[in-house]
A and B are shown apart, each in its own frame.
Chain A
Amino acid sequence: MRGLRAERGLTLTEVAVVMILGTIVMGGLVGFYLSSQGLWLDASTQAIAQREADLVASAVRDSVRKSSRAIVTASPDSLRQQVALYRGGEAAPYWYFFWNPSDSLVYAGPDVTDAAAGPMGVSPVERFQLQASSYAVRLDLRMRSASGDRIETSAFAIMRNSAEYARLANR
């Protein structure tokens, strides 16, 4: 049989000490969890934005390579432009890459007014600058991730079906 002393429970001081220590430990754990979650979220959104920047750059590169002509328009402004790509001797462009001012996203499609065309990503694009010559197109792209980080990339592609490239390649 246990003695009375063994069943006396906890004193107020003991409970207070345990509660203070528990609070400190829990506070540390919660702080660590929140900062880890923030770090993970930041890294994830940045990785997503990087992948989207790659996607846009490679899509522009692939489309330019099979084109014969490109016309860049400062629409809506010189920082956010659009490019119309032409095939062969066709008078109308077959493909566009353009920045949409309503959501700051880059779109691609056969028509700039095509409401069915979806954006190429979900990260807002701050700069979509293009330069076109008679045989090549250069893209400078800057996106912002959901956590506010800036992602920059560039692409350069030669229009393999352009008359100028044929001339240069056959020198």
Chain B
Amino acid sequence: MLDERGFSLMEALTAATISVIAVLGLAYSFSIGHGLVDRYEVARAAVGVAQAQLESMAVLPRSDAQFAIGFRSPSTPFLYEGREVGSSDWRVTALDDPDLPGTSDFKRVVVTVRWRQDTRMDSLSLERLWLP
């Protein structure tokens, strides 16, 4: 004879609990995805600022004090949608290429943009090598 007992209350509650956990996990993943898109919205603007800074250095004479190894620029505000969300600065360091003689074969310019989004601090750095 077939077992026609059906589900017990405990079984039904367990299944419902597991389903709720799965659905909450899905909802959480959606919100995480949207948060990442929001995060990269400002990050892309920060990349534009860093690229612009590196590009503008192309017209600086190599003998300029801002190109000296060890130079660190003052911090400038990083604006997004008309408000200050962070700051950017850049520094010059020496780079040693082991295949070349000497210890300061290149000048490495590193632009760093830092910003706050919601409660989290974020940052990115772009760098370019220049002949000394």
Contacts and interface: CB of A to CB of B under 8 A. Distances in A.
B37 A158 contact: no
Interface in B32-70: 33-34, 37-38, 40-41, 44-45, 48-49, 51-52, 55-56, 58-59, 61
B71 interface: no
Contacts, number: 72
B52 A154 contact: yes
B81 interface: yes
A61 B51 CA distance: 10
B4 interface: yes
Interface string B58-95: 11010000000000000000001100000000000000
Interface string A138-164: 100000000001111111111000000
Residue of A42, A43, A151, A157 contacting most chain B CB atoms (<10 Å): A43
Contacts of A43: 33-34, 37
Given A155-B52, A156-B52, A165-B59, A36 B37 contact: no
A39 interface: yes
Nearest to A168: B59
Contacts of A46: 37-38, 41
Given A40-B33, A156-B51, 11 more contacts: A29-B23, A32-B27, A36-B26, A39-B30, A43-B34, A46-B37, A57-B48, A135-B59, A155-B48, A157-B55, A158-B55
29 contacts: A29-B23, A32-B27, A36-B26, A36-B27, A39-B30, A39-B31, A39-B33, A47-B37, A47-B40, A50-B37, A50-B41, A50-B44, A53-B44, A54-B44, A57-B48, A61-B51, A136-B56, A136-B59, A138-B52, A149-B41, A153-B45, A154-B48, A154-B52, A155-B51, A155-B52, A156-B52, A156-B55, A165-B58, A169-B58
